[in-house]
Structure 1
Amino acid sequence: MSIFPDHPSEGKIEILPISGFRGVGKFIDVPWQVYADDPLWVPPLRLERRLYFSRFNPYFKHAQWQGWIAYRNNQPVGRISAQIDELHRQRYGPDTGHFGMLESINDETVFSGLIQAAEDWLVKRGARQISGPFNFSINQECGLLVQGFDTPPVFMMPYSPRWYVNLLEQNGYHPGKDLLAYWLETDFESPPAMQTIDRKYQHRIKIRTLQRNRFSEEIEIMRNIFNDAWSGNWGFVPFTQEEFAELGSSLRWLVPDEFVQIAEMDGEPVAFMAVLPNLNEVLPDLNGNLFPFGWLHLVNKLKSNSITTGRVPLMGVRKQFHHTLSGMALAFKVIDAPRKIARTRGIQHVELSWVLEDNLPMRAILERIGGKEYKRYRIYEKTLA
């Protein structure tokens, strides 16, 4: 639901590019207007968004972007970004470009105006293959929600209302790839087949927690595993060292060491998984503000183990083990170890997201241990003439 009507309103529409500190601030604030009456939307932290859009974001060392805000009668009614990622172009061709940060009232004119502004900017920079939404990268929030509108998003996952799908398709975009989110109870029983595989490799696979006293090295180990594990997947763009280090630093104070589990095969680290407490249980109370007392409320919630859901945002098993029994054992091990620990800290359910729709081996493992597909996100594509 939105504070805006579900049909075009009277008034001139302007699509204006943003610039400078104030422009970015207005861009950040647009969702508060679009989702003013939506009980499922979770407001982000404004301070975190400021840092994300700043020059300190290592993504901008290999990418450029522009944002626009749509106004009607001088009131913000939508926004969009367009971005060119040189790492993506190196892998997929020099004519690729992306859109993201898409928010709009349910109005065809506003929505089309935003899409057109992004496409025009991308075309001027040689883009002909457009895809999105990416906020800003496939390694960050991405995809348009197409199923699972009845529950709020978990931490670091996107949210969008139902009408975006039709409006985007009316602008010539078609489905490119679906990304799935699975919901899993942390007290699941290991199926007999998994127990058998586990026993077969129990002398070769060892699980350990994150070693915080060598945090930088551990982060680099996980980055190397992740980039190798995902390198053959659709849309893959590697994490740079700075990007993964930044991700690690931003999550360091949120995640207990035991929430990160690294699997070693014959003494070599080859798989890992990280669990995050679902801060979206807390963020609605803060309404985007850490100060003056929001940070204290957040810290108290984390320390009291009163957050009951979590998310697995990062997981990887080295490619050499894909489609093997040892790979299944590794995947099961890194799923099983942190969920037991999460359970002791009050986390009863976790979301595993996202999983490519055609990653059938991982989907089979998740479904075998009781995981249910409960949300579906979609990347859309369009070829410009």
Structure 2
Amino acid sequence: MIEVIKVQEKKDLKKFIDFPHELYARDGNYVPELYLAQKDLLNKKSHPFFDHSEADFFLAYKNDTIVGRIAAIKNNNYLEFTGIQSGKFGFFDVIDDYEVAEALLNVVADWQKERGLQHLTGPENYSTNETCGTLIEGFDTPPTVMMPYNKPYYKEFLEQYGFEKDMDLLSYKIKTEDVPDKLIRMSDKILERLNNKGITIRKINLKKFSEEIDKIIEVYNSAWEKNWGFVPMTDAEFKHAAKDMKQIVDPDFVLIAEHEGKPIGFTLSIPDMNMPLKRLKRGRLLPFGIFKLLYHKKDIDRVRIVTLGLVEGYRKLGIDAYFYMKAFEEAKKKGMSFGEASWILENNEMMNKAIENINGKVYKKHRLFKKAI
């Protein structure tokens, strides 16, 4: 018999966070999430998502053993911004048993219907601003930092339940050795042309981190406001995420574009912390995990381009090309073998073309699903 219970106590939340470690224990490509980061993300009292929206977390049991987990999410800002009456599901992990998946999804569908919602979409861990999508291609390599990973049968289970494709998200692999030298040399010419238009590009100043974040927030919400599935981040959400990011960011990989002093674009790339994280047992930093993490940071040989955005009116001037070129120029200098550009909407023709122009190849796909309830 399958029983699905709502997480209400601290001990249940710990089980919710730890379940993937059991599920993927024999999977060589699995990378554990940091326990403290997950605990913070799920904290209804302190995480800024819960200032405006709600979510409940559920565990599935079979014969007194945890066999799955899921979150039911009502993102009020998404509902207001898009007008789409769609609830979300996220944090979805399950053993290879469709009946368990069905039981978890039924609970979420009922939860959403109780709140008057007509559709169910996901997986999104609150929104597309966080980890989202089900991996459907590219199971042969570990995920990069802040990218989801799952069992191949998830797609089959979701489709069996009645979900259909909503949007595919593409991940490109770009080997630093494959980026044409002539393109990197072109970056100086592009920058000169931009400077003549009053546009400057600089690295983030970590000594003025708070001021820089205020500038980036404005660009972020403006640059993505017309993108499929987007919902603006509140100042509190953005600053909360930025605070965590500051611990791992390399200023050489964060560029800000300005026009006559006004921010018009930025790009953020992160050295792939999943490489050392893979060595942490159950995502614990204590007592000795922190030393493993610091020691193995030197082994990182890839970078992920997490986000790149330009305010409308500045999108066909070559700024995006310059951002990509500089990211791979820095990666080469640091001895990195490749970079990942992800996730890119499959219908974002301009961005996909820019990556293909530097010999990027799609090597992973994630899918977001939708279903009427």
Aligned residue in 1 for 2:110: 120
Name which of structure 1's ranges 336-345 and 50-59 shifts more when overlaid on structure 2.
336-345
Q: Where do residues 1-385 of structure 1 align in structure 2 (5 Å cutoff)?
A: 12-54=1-43, 55-93=45-83, 95-187=85-177, 188-189=179-180, 195=186, 200-204=193-197, 205-287=199-281, 288-302=283-297, 305-322=298-315, 324=316, 326=317, 329-384=318-373
Whether contact under 8 Å (1:308, 1:346) holds in the other structure is: yes
Whether contact under 8 Å (1:131, 1:382) holds in the other structure is: yes
CA 1:94/1:283 → structure 2, altered by over 3 Å: closer, same or farther?
Answer: same
Amino acid at match of 2:108: A
The separation in 1 between residues aligned to 2:169 and 2:50, in whole angstroms, is 25
Whether contact under 8 Å (2:206, 2:251) holds in the other structure is: yes
Aligned identity (percent) is: 34
SS in 2 for 1:42: coil
Stretches of structure 1 that go unaligned for 5 or more consecutive residues are 1-11
SS in 1 for 2:279: helix
Aligned residue in 2 for 1:3: none
Whether contact under 8 Å (2:184, 2:329) holds in the other structure is: no
Whether contact under 8 Å (2:223, 2:310) holds in the other structure is: yes
Amino acid at match of 1:210: I
The separation in 2 between residues aligned to 1:203 and 1:186, in whole angstroms, is 29
The separation in 2 between residues aligned to 1:194 and 1:284, in whole angstroms, is 36
Whether contact under 8 Å (1:194, 1:332) holds in the other structure is: no
Aligned-CA RMSD value: 1.8
CA 1:56/1:339 → structure 2, altered by over 3 Å: closer, same or farther?
Answer: farther
TM-score by length of 2: 0.94
The separation in 2 between residues aligned to 1:146 and 1:194, in whole angstroms, is 36
Name which of structure 1's ranges 371-380 and 203-212 shifts more when overlaid on structure 2.
203-212
The separation in 2 between residues aligned to 1:109 and 1:319, in whole angstroms, is 47
Amino acid at match of 1:18: V
The separation in 1 between residues aligned to 2:365 and 2:82, in whole angstroms, is 25
CA 1:120/1:335 → structure 2, altered by over 3 Å: closer, same or farther?
Answer: same
The separation in 1 between residues aligned to 2:145 and 2:196, in whole angstroms, is 36
Aligned residue in 2 for 1:4: none
- What CA deviation, in whole Å up to 9, does each residue of 1:244-301 have, x standing for no partner? 1111110112112222111223443211111111111111211211011111221233
CA 1:42/1:192 → structure 2, altered by over 3 Å: closer, same or farther?
Answer: closer
The separation in 1 between residues aligned to 2:122 and 2:349, in whole angstroms, is 23
Give the length in aligned residue pairs: 367
TM-score by length of 1: 0.91
The separation in 1 between residues aligned to 2:326 and 2:259, in whole angstroms, is 15
